[in-house]
Amino acid sequence: MGMQKISLLRMLGGLFLLFICELVQAGGQLEEPLVDSVRTALSSAISNQAPPVPEFKDTESRLDYLRWLGVMSERLKKKKPELHVRREFLQTVWYESRRAGLDPTLVLGLVQVESNFRKFAVSSVGARGYMQVMPFWTRVLGDGDAGKLFHMQTNLRFGCVILRHYLDREKGDLFLALGRYNGSRGKAPYPNAVLGAQKQWETIAKSRSGPF
């Protein structure tokens, strides 16, 4: 009976998070003036298109990564049935998150709320792809080709670099940085939805067991 109650509570918790995510209003990053030094730094971070191949300092780190990849892949199976697609996506999330100094579970939580893992998602305000990046960023930091935001690594690269920029701008305040990412700075629904989704991914990550 106790296990049934726990399972029911987990199910209700998941449904509640989904309900909250659906209540979040579609938003997008707001175009703001950037000083030249910031624009140059962000452009450089975007343009370095190194392939998302992880490097490890030792065997233990590599095994830890493979365990992470395994449990996350199993969790994402319903959203992305093809194993190679899941693996490529998760490897890129892991690589781009760490490259930007972000926790991969935070990025997974943001992708879940923003696009529900849909590569070609487009919001009502025109934000595109997994991390719902606004097209103006390709003009500000790239060559202006907004179509590239439907390319997986490009979208994740832009999204992670932009979130890192907002986090630095808000002096490490994740709540405000997430609000700025959504164009709703200071309002709670969006940051709470992302942080709630991140907590779920953190719980999964801590259960790093099972084969890949």
Which stretches of the chain drop beneath a pLDDT of 70? Answer: 1-27, 49-51, 208-212
Confidence (pTM) = 0.82
Buried b (16+ CB within 10 A) or exposed e, 21-54: beebeebbbeeeeeeeeeeebbeebbeeeeebee
- The predicted pLDDT at position 34 comes to 78
- The predicted pLDDT at position 41 comes to 83
CATH class of 52-206: mainly alpha
- The predicted pLDDT at position 206 comes to 86
Residue in the block written with tokens 């590239």: 148
- The predicted pLDDT at position 212 comes to 37
- The predicted pLDDT at position 188 comes to 96
* DSSP per-residue string spanning 154-169: HHHHHHHHHHHHHHHH
> Where do the structural domains in the chain lie, given as residue ranges?
52-206
- The predicted pLDDT at position 27 comes to 66
- The predicted pLDDT at position 147 comes to 94
Classify 128 as helix, strand or coil.
strand
